[in-house]
């Protein structure tokens, strides 16, 4: 039996209650919507890129604790990162929450490792990855809203 | 022991014995996450009693054959069983004859059939179809498609804050251009039981046809299509303790007679030449191709099963469960019921302040409690109540007050995780 505490870790409960970098970014130079039509989770991601670097990143929207906490943690982790670093983190994160053994990436992901528990909840993986797919698409020039389906 | 626990002591009473019903459902005797399963997602689909499972197995083991076309013994046996199921379905909803029972995949296909056969051949630009604001997507989208094809207009009868259809608004919307009124019997998202007598009577006075989406009703209340006076009634086998992939479209014979076929193929014809085809009699005109024979037979067994329990007994028992659950839910701080109609089926839709329904669903699952969280294929209802989704517990004849207690304790546990 999986321990519920592995999913709803303190970090997640905290970031759900007080999401960081929450609210629109007025001088964003890119923004993109992500949508999970199955559960109605909806977020908008705002990014300001300076040269090769994510200078600022914020989000707003509604969703479950996993999706809000994941977006909050993501914005924290991505601020100041280069586009290359962002892509690498996206890949590691994806591996962590989908690979059977977690891809052994948890340790390298710092606070983001709090979301490793979703691996045991297949119905919830999309909640955790919605913000990441949205970021990935946004950084690759995507303009169409991202959907999990 | 508190007053709200008294339901345990007033049992057993004459009527339905849920513990005995449970014993018929092999699936219910399992553990999920180390806890006994409390299956409270019956509005999505019900579990199947062994009487249904065994009948389907018997068909495949003993008399599997194609129907309506063989002279051999197995084919005749299969045909007889399939047609017996049709007669049972006719009796079940008090249709005038078995010819009025068209077997389809489910409620969704039944509604699409009416839209494409009746609607497409009848409606013109400017005609109006009325639906309600609480409909399932399957009673919205087929009409939108039909409107796109014919230029007809889809209009939506509003609902009040309790989730009840506003009958005065409906009366005002009914007009000369109204050709069809299509509403649900019981709302899957809110539980509301619609006042069908009044709705149908008003429609008939204006000469409009009526279609009732009975997906959430057939297993929970007695349905009498002649007393209702509706033109079409649709329901699904899988929500009635029967198999998936089978359902019923009831249509008044005179109407079905006039309607063009829905699909072409085998079984729906009498004579085919390359110049001309003569269609088969009712209901076969609407049943092209080899049908879901095992499904039909399983549905017949499911109808036998609920008739044996008694629809009135089921309804009375489920109303008690609902009242018990509603009272307990109302006592939970931060819980808001979505759907508080005066007349409700045993569906409890709710949201918790600051906690998303998905998280409620996951945490309850951890305690072996299966509920549904999401928009319940009724996105306009979610919008009407200003929520992205709800958590929904929906009850059936095999659910018990003990399971309600577990649900309530489970919800308290959910709150603790986020406190
Ligand atoms: C009110 C209502 N209408 C229609 C349907 C569609 O039924 P089915 O998916 O069996 O075709 C459902 C089931 O989800 C329902 O609850």
pTM, to two decimals: 0.93
Choose among B115, B139, B128: nearest CA to B177: B128
* Omega prior to B12 cis, within 30 of 0: yes
pLDDT in tens, B286-302: 999 999 999 999 999 99
State whether the beta carbon of B194 lies less than 6 angstroms from ligand 1: no
pLDDT confidence bin for B268, thresholds 50/70/90? confident
Range in A72-81, A117-126, B303-312 the model is least confident about: A117-126
State whether the beta carbon of B347 lies less than 6 angstroms from ligand 1: no
Contact B356 A42 (CB under 8 A): no
Residues A47, A55: Cα–Cα separation, whole Å: 8
Angle of helix B401-417 relative to helix B357-365, nearest 10 degrees? 120
Interface of A with B (CB under 8 A): 1-2, 4, 7-8, 13, 16-17, 38-42, 62-66, 68, 121, 123-124, 127
Whether the pLDDT of residue B3 is over 60: the answer is no
- State the ipTM, two decimals: 0.89
pLDDT in tens, B166-195: 999 999 999 999 999 999 999 999 999 999
Contact A64 B34 (CB under 8 A): no
Give A24: exposed, middle or buried? Use CB within 10 Å, 0-12, 13-18, 19+.
Answer: exposed
Whether the pLDDT of residue A25 is over 60: the answer is yes
For residue A58, give the 3-state DSSP assignment: strand
Mean pLDDT of chain A: 90
CA dist list (Å): A127 to A149, B165, B220: 12, 34, 35
Choose among A108, A118, A104, A111: nearest CA to A67: A118
Q: What is the DSSP letter of B390?
A: E
State whether the beta carbon of B132 lies less than 6 angstroms from ligand 1: no
Chain A contact for B363, CB < 8 A? yes
Q: Are B213 and B186 in contact (CB under 8 A)?
A: no
CA-proximal residue: ligand 1, atom 16 (nearest):
B188
The pLDDT score that the predictor gives to residue A106 is: 63
Give B4: exposed, middle or buried? Use CB within 10 Å, 0-12, 13-18, 19+.
Answer: middle
Whether the pLDDT of residue B12 is over 50: the answer is no
Q: Which residue has the tokens 């008044």?
A: B252
User: Cα(B135) to centroid of ligand 1, in Å?
Assistant: 10
* Catalytic entry in B28, B377, B379, B402: B377
Distance, C-alpha A108 to centroid of its chain: 16
pLDDT confidence bin for A107, thresholds 50/70/90? low
Query: What are the chain A neighbours of B352 within 8 Å (beta carbons)?
Result: none
State whether the beta carbon of B188 lies less than 6 angstroms from ligand 1: yes
As a whole number, mean pLDDT of residues B38-52 equals 98
Residues B229, B209: Cα–Cα separation, whole Å: 10
Residue of A nearest to B419 (CA): A13
Residues B291, A144: Cα–Cα separation, whole Å: 42
pLDDT confidence bin for A6, thresholds 50/70/90? confident
- What architecture does CATH give domain B52-308? 3-Layer(aba) Sandwich (3.40)
CA dist list (Å): A43 to A11, A128, B77, B267, B415: 20, 12, 57, 51, 24
pLDDT in tens, A121-135: 888 999 999 999 999
- What architecture does CATH give domain B18-32+311-418? Alpha-Beta Complex (3.90)
As a whole number, mean pLDDT of residues B264-279 equals 88
Whether the pLDDT of residue B71 is over 90: the answer is no
Residues B364, B411: Cα–Cα separation, whole Å: 7
Mean pLDDT of chain B: 95
Whether the pLDDT of residue B36 is over 50: the answer is yes
Range in B127-131, B149-153, B265-269 the model is least confident about: B265-269
Q: Between β-strands B35-36 and B31-32, what pairing exists: parallel, antiparallel or unpaired?
A: antiparallel
Q: Are B255 and B209 in contact (CB under 8 A)?
A: yes
Listed by start position, the domains of chain A span 4-147
Whether the pLDDT of residue B8 is over 70: the answer is no
Contacts of B159 (CB under 8 A, 6+ apart): B132, B133, B134, B165, B166, B192, B384
Contacts of B313 (CB under 8 A, 6+ apart): B15, B16
Whether the pLDDT of residue B7 is over 60: the answer is no
Query: What are the chain A neighbours of B369 within 8 Å (beta carbons)?
Result: none
Per the DSSP assignment, residues forming a β-bridge with B213 are: B184, B234
As a whole number, mean pLDDT of residues A74-98 equals 94
As a whole number, mean pLDDT of residues A2-30 equals 91
Contact B358 A121 (CB under 8 A): no
Whether the pLDDT of residue B6 is over 70: the answer is no
Quick one: CA torsion of B340, B341, B343, B346, rounded to 10 degrees? -40
Q: What is the DSSP letter of A22?
A: B
pLDDT confidence bin for A38, thresholds 50/70/90? confident
- Rounded percentage of chain B residues whose pLDDT exceeds 70: 97
Per the DSSP assignment, residues forming a β-bridge with B248 are: B103, B235
Residues B211, B251: Cα–Cα separation, whole Å: 9
Pocket probe for ligand 1: among B114, B216, B396, the residue whose CB has the most ligand atoms within 8 Å is B216
Q: Are B181 and B209 in contact (CB under 8 A)?
A: yes
Q: Are B58 and B408 in contact (CB under 8 A)?
A: no
Angle subtended at Cα B405 by Cα B404 and Cα B410, rounded to the nearest 5 degrees: 95
Per the structure block, which two tokens stand in for A1?
């039996």
The pLDDT score that the predictor gives to residue B305 is: 98
Residues A144, A87: Cα–Cα separation, whole Å: 19
As a whole number, mean pLDDT of residues B226-248 equals 98
Q: At B30, phi and psi to the nearest 5?
A: -135, 165
Whether the pLDDT of residue B11 is over 60: the answer is no
Q: At B158, phi and psi to the nearest 5?
A: -75, 165
Residues B203, B199: Cα–Cα separation, whole Å: 6
Whether the pLDDT of residue A108 is over 80: the answer is no
Query: Domain A4-147, what fold?
Result: Sufe protein. Chain: A (3.90.1010)
Listed by start position, the domains of chain B span 18-32+311-418, 52-308
State whether the beta carbon of B237 lies less than 6 angstroms from ligand 1: no
Per the structure block, which two tokens stand in for B92?
């079940």
Contact B418 A39 (CB under 8 A): no
CB contacts < 8 A, A to B, total 54
Strands (E), chain A: 30-36, 41-50, 53-62, 146-147
């Amino acid at each position: 039996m999986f321990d519920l505490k592995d999913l709803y870790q303190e970090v997640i409960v905290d970031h759900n209650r007080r999401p960081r970098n929450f609210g629109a970014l007025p001088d964003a130079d890119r923004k993109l919507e992500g949508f999970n039509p199955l559960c109605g989770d909806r977020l908008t991601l705002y990014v300001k890129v300076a040269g090769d670097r994510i200078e600022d990143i914020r989000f707003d929207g509604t969703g479950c604790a996993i999706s809000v906490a994941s977006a909050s943690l993501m914005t924290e982790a991505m601020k100041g990162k280069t586009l290359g670093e962002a892509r690498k983190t996206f890949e590691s994160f994806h591996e962590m929450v989908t690979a059977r053994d977690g891809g052994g990436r948890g340790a390298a992901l710092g606070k983001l490792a709090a979301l490793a528990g979703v691996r045991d909840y297949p119905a919830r993986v999309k909640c955790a990855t919605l913000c990441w797919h949205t970021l990935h698409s946004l950084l690759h020039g995507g303009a169409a809203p991202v959907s999990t389906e | 022991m508190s007053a709200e626990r008294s339901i345990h002591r007033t049992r057993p009473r004459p009527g339905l014995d849920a513990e005995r019903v449970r014993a018929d459902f092999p699936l219910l005797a399992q553990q999920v996450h180390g806890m006994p399963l409390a299956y409270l997602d019956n509005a999505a689909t019900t579990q199947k009693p062994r009487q249904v499972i065994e009948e389907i197995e018997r068909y495949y083991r003993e008399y599997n054959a194609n129907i309506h076309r063989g002279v051999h013994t197995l084919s005749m046996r299969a045909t007889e069983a399939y047609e017996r199921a049709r007669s049972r379905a006719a009796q079940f909803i008090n249709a005038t004859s078995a010819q009025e029972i068209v077997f389809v995949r489910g409620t969704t296909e039944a509604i699409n059939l009416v839209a494409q056969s009746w609607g497409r051949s009848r409606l013109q630009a400017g005609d109006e179809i009325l639906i309600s604001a609480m409909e399932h997507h399957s009673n919205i989208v087929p009409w939108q498609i039909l409107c796109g094809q014919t230029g007809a207009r889809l209009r939506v009868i509003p609902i009040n804050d309790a989730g009840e259809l506003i009958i005065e608004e409906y009366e005002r919307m009914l007009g000369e251009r109204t050709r069809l009124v299509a509403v649900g019997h019981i709302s899957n998202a809110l539980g509301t039981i619609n006042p069908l007598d009044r709705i149908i009577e008003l429609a008939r006075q204006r000469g409009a046809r009526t279609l009732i989406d009975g997906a959430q009703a057939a297993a929970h209340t007695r349905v009498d299509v002649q007393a209702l006076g509706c033109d079409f009634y649709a329901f699904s086998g899988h929500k009635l303790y029967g198999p998936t992939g089978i359902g019923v479209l009831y249509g008044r014979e005179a109407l079905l007679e006039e309607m063009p076929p829905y699909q072409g193929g085998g079984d729906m014809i009498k004579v085919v030449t390359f110049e001309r085809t003569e269609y088969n009699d009712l209901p076969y005109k609407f049943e092209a191709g080899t049908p879901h024979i095992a499904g039909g037979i399983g549905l017949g067994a499911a109808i036998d099963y609920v008739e044996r329990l008694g629809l009135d007994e089921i309804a009375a028992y489920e109303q008690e469960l609902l009242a018990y659950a509603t009272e307990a839910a109302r006592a939970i701080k931060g819980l808001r019921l979505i759907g508080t109609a005066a007349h409700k089926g045993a569906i409890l839709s709710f949201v918790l302040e600051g906690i998303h329904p998905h998280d409620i669903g996951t945490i309850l699952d951890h305690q072996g409690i299966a509920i549904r969280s999401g928009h319940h294929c009724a996105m306009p209802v979610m919008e009407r109540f200003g929520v992205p989704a709800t958590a929904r517990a929906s009850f059936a004849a095999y659910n018990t007050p003990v399971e309600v207690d577990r649900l309530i304790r489970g919800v308290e546990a959910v709150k603790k995780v986020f406190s």
